[in-house]
Structure 1
Amino acid sequence: MNNLIGVGVYTPAEAGRLLHIRPAKISRWLRGHRIKKQNYPSLWTPEVNLGDEHVFLGFRDLMEVRVADAFIRAGVSAQRVRAAIILARDVIGQERPLSTNRFRTDGREIFVSVIETGEDGKERERLLNLFKRQYEFKGIIEPILKTVDFGDDGNPLLWWPSGRRMNVVVDPSRAFGQPIEAASSVPTVILAAAARQEGVSGAARAYAVPEAAIRRAIEFEASLEHGLAA
């Protein structure tokens, strides 16, 4: 069994609720599947293994699924995403390369950021097309991971699923990676449930948080339910 401290633990249903992705799709990506006589292997091995046949995700898996889905929504095929993961492992040297801060896409190709030192000693960022194996300098959109805080090593640390304005964060080191009110670390699902029972003012007093935090938790949880229904 993995050491789960600081990893976060999510079922496909929990991950799907947060990411607005069908849980069955997440399970297929992480378990692999078969269509007719064609086998499709898993995109990667989840970082959480509880010793049974069920699929669980860690925080890095959550971020990896988010980016893979974003690429596919941008028009990149699932097959090319799978190929990009394999190629990027060699370039970046990480098992879950999509969740780092080094990827770009223009809707057709997938690029990885490479830092090179020129003859003048200055470092420059170049974008390596993983399929053409050459450098590209134009037609690149903004980085996908705008709501993620990264460490100095380029790996994801925190995710602000509704943007920083909402002040709701997913932090694998707190509350097992469940969405929390950033200042108090109380899970948003608990704050929203308390508001239903005690009202906004009562919930704020009970958990010693501002009433604005309760309202944001209610709004965030409602957005998850809306996304799941959609």
Structure 2
Amino acid sequence: MQNIKSPSRLVGIGLYTPAEASLYTGIPSTDIRRWLFGYTTHDVQHPGLWNSELADVDECVLGFHDLLEIRFVHAFRQHGVSLQAIRSASQQAKEMFNQAYPFTCKRFQTDGRSIFATVLSETGDEALLDLVKRQYAFEQIIKPSLYEGIDYTGSGDAQRWYPVTRSKAIVLDPSRNFGKPVLTTVGIDTAAIFSAYKTEGQSTKRVALLYEIPTSSVAAAVRFEQSMAA
């Protein structure tokens, strides 16, 4: 990979392939690739919706903020909003909020409708009509659950994400393990724990002894990894 000469290059950024991003978000990797890295249709090249945090790397990889932002793109697409409209909304929100990743920004919950109203007038995207006219319709897409589990810095940037609902046992933090899922308290990679669990005959007690951690932590890591494989 170009320009990644040492692991320190990625500290605070995170590193995910589209396949890994798909595992953590439940969004198909083909969609993630289209949204972040563009696609060609009828001999026309369409660029990605924004430049990845790792755009200077000669690989299709995402940073931590890319990972969170695509969850919102997925929500828009589920409700029929066009990529053209999403691209326009992202650009306008960046300028309005002074945030590189505006959908993840909490302010989008309150000011997103006004941005989409402008986008509607520009694109004529009929899927935006309900979002602009009805607060309820907008709230069905920009749900509190999309923001749940995200810790923010004082300046409003997403800092870390706890992907399991109402639990802080597992965290994705770009300053730890390149943003891959770890046990929050001890920082051990959940994938490593799950691998040991399978090797040790699916014994949480053996793995707990091996890593010198509580069996409850092992169980949390195993549940998380199994949920992604389901």
TM > 0.5: yes
Counterpart of 1:223 in structure 2 is 227
| 1:60 is aligned to 2:62 | no
Do the aligned partners of residues 221 and 138 (structure 1) sit closer, same or farther apart at CA in structure 2, a change above 3 Å counting? same
Aligned residue pairs, count: 205
1:65-214 superposed matches below 5 A: 65-104=70-109, 112-113=110-111, 129-133=114-118, 138-139=135-136, 140-141=138-139, 142-143=143-144, 144-165=146-167, 167-198=169-200, 199-214=203-218
Q: Give the whole-Å Cα distance in 1 for the aligned partners of 2:15 and 2:23.
A: 14
> Any idea what the Cα deviations from partners look like across 1:140-190, whole Å, max 9, x if unmatched?
524331121112211111111112426111011111100011111101111
Q: Please, what TM-score do these two structures have when normalized by structure 2?
A: 0.81
| 1:6 is aligned to 2:12 | yes
Q: Give the whole-Å Cα distance in 2 for the aligned partners of 1:214 and 1:50.
A: 37
- % of aligned pairs identical? 32
Structure 1 residue 50, shift from structure 2 partner? 5.6
Do the aligned partners of residues 74 and 149 (structure 1) sit closer, same or farther apart at CA in structure 2, a change above 3 Å counting? farther
Structure 2: stretches of 5+ with no match in the other structure: 119-131
Q: Give the whole-Å Cα distance in 2 for the aligned partners of 1:63 and 1:51.
A: 19
1:45-56 superposed matches below 5 A: 45-49=51-55, 51-52=57-58, 54-56=59-61
Structure 1: stretches of 5+ with no match in the other structure: 105-111, 114-126
1:98 partner SS = coil
Amino acid at match of 1:179: P
Structure 1 residue 10, shift from structure 2 partner? 0.6
Q: Please, what TM-score do these two structures have when normalized by structure 1?
A: 0.81
- For the aligned residue pairs, the C-alpha RMSD in angstroms reads 2.3
Contact 1:167 1:181 in 2 (8 A): yes
Do the aligned partners of residues 87 and 50 (structure 1) sit closer, same or farther apart at CA in structure 2, a change above 3 Å counting? closer
Where is the strand percentage greater, Structure 1 or Structure 2? 1
> Any idea what the Cα deviations from partners look like across 1:30-89, whole Å, max 9, x if unmatched?
11112114432210111114642x211110111111121122224433222111111112
Contact 2:168 2:184 in 1 (8 A): no
Contact 1:101 1:150 in 2 (8 A): no
